[in-house]
Structure 1
Amino acid sequence: MSSSPGKVYYLQLPQKVNLTEAQQACFNDGAQIAKVGQLYAAWKFMGLDRCDAGWLADGSLRYPINNPRRNCGPMEPGVRSFGFAPPHHKHGVYCYSAVVVFPYQPPHGRYNLTYHDAQQVCQEQDSTLATFEQLFQAWEEGLNWCNAGWLADGTVQYPITKPRRPCGGLGLSPGVRSYGSRHRHLHRYDVFCSSSPLRGERCLDFCTSHREDQHCVTGCVHSIEKDQHCVTGCVHPIEKDQHCVTGCVHPIEKINTV
């Protein structure tokens, strides 16, 4: 299990997905498909309770139950397992997000960043502007900050878990306070950045040659040089067997993109 702070969650999708689609769906959501240990930790320490079986990274199907109920397995808490399903079957998926949201105030003081400035300072921290969803998750996990900051959509908001007079007043319930959209060039605030170990990666599908047959690879490409990319992923051949590949493709022009 990763030592990075993070959260396991069941990804809401419009339809069920196979294992390869599940991996990509988590990545598209800024996360990665959860591992068995991460799901167990979320069940035991975070109280995760979900009566929906979902893919995990090892190809197994499991779901966590803290509040036993009818139609959700035995009447005792635990992580239920359906074993290993054929990878082409359609199910839900559990993702693991290691995104960390943090407020940032520049050295020259509070409320001095335009939207463009906010983008730059987050990049300098090897991060990106946080989304509202990321800030809301951070608030749920206890982030309490009274200075308003830019978010990726151009709104200005701040998370309050302990209401107090200078931060919206004592009469308001805890929540994420919003100033709404602000002028990106004229208005100045602080910023909320998000940092993730997945930042800098991009996923794509492509085909490459293997023993005179054509195989498709799904994986994450890490740019090394302009003409060299490294890939880690599984090769899904036309034949029944399956191969996994880890290595560098050089030059990139030799890849037939699909």
Structure 2
Amino acid sequence: MGNRRTALVTGGTSGIGEATVRALIAAGWRVIATGRRRARLETLVAELGADRLCPAVFDVRDEAARDIALAALPHDFADIDLLVNNAGLALGMARAQEADVAAWKTMIDTNVTALVSLTAKLLPGLVERRGAIVNLSSVAASYPYAGGNVYGATKAFVRQFSLSLRSDLAGTGVRVTSIEPGMVETEFTLVRNGGDRAASDSLYAGADPMTGDDIARTIRWVADLPPHLNINTIELMPVSQSFAGFQVVRA
């Protein structure tokens, strides 16, 4: 990819996204960080430098705003070698029969529709530059749990979409990886629980979960591999987490 590589990281204002921005810049990448929160992006630029970090303020679900932001990228950031589809969310833990359909649609719009739309938008340039795509899936793609319903389904889509992209892109030189983390302590659970800090804290209490930096180091490792190597999927959990047992409902 050359010495002047540029990455675009969605959801770059917190958690895994922010950690990935920092990790890639530390490795010598230029980074475009997207997010809805302008103040957070401006703070990151002030810290990391406008020569290395370009903010792009938009909601990934808003394709018109996205296209305006991408069209306005400075020349030095215009050629993208790496797409990190990190932006995503879970909303609620209700079982399907009690779930909020509006929340389901928001998860699908963010985790699926926005991801595939941005990928399609950038794919011609990624093919031209023999670049790479890293998609953030989840262990929820493989292991269902009560209350995971649509969130898990969206992440299963991301995993399968990544594998299908890899198949379609054979011969182009473009690498595609699905990163599938388990428990990571970020704002993710706070958002999922509607801002309930106690509920978020109780999930992680005593569990020694992974951190955004742990996942960012993995993404950086994948991004910096030689161009003839492709990591198809990576599933990672903290040592304290394992596979759920089967549910048994007794009369």
Shorter-chain TM range is: under 0.3
More strand by share: 1
- Report the structure number with the largest CA radius of gyration: 1
Greater relative contact order (Cα 8 A, min sep 6): structure 1 or 2? 2
More helix by share: 2
- What TM-score results when the alignment is normalised by the length of structure 2? 0.25
